[in-house]
A = this chain, B = another copy of it.
Amino acid sequence: MATFRFAVNVTPKAGILDPQGRAVEGSLGHLGIDGVSDVRVGRRVELTVEAASQSTAREIVDRLASELLSNPLIEAYDVELLAATSTLLAEAGR
């Protein structure tokens, strides 16, 4: 068994209303910040998975991301591997 740390980045799909992004843009003027545009606000979920291989761990994260962490109708997600420990097995899973 090896241990993997993943991040799931969930962002509103293009064309979907993003009120939090609009709120950030609305605050830029008060801070005197110029040149910032197209702000999208999403979620970032970091989690540890214990599994036999990296591919098995990634399958678990994909299922979690699509069924629990995102709403596929309005949000897209991507999965990032942050760290792998118990090195021998982690490398075998690559």
CB pair A44 B47 closer than 8 Å: no
Q: Mark A2-19, 1 if CB is under 8 A from B, else 0.
A: 000001011100000000
Name A26-59 residues within 8 Å CB distance of B. 27-28, 31, 33, 35-51
Copies of the chain in the assembly: 2
A35 touches which of B28, B37, B51 (Cβ 8 Å): B51
| Residue positions of A touching B, CB distance < 8 A | 7, 9-11, 21, 24, 27-28, 31, 33, 35-51, 60, 63-64, 67-69
Count chain B CB atoms within 10 A of each CB in A7, A31, A35, A69 and give the residue with the most: A35
A33–chain B nearest beta-carbon distance, Å: 6
Across the interface, do B47 and A60 meet the contact criterion of CB distance under 8 Å?
no
User: For residue A41, which residues in chain B have a CB less than 8 angstroms away from its CB?
Assistant: 43-45
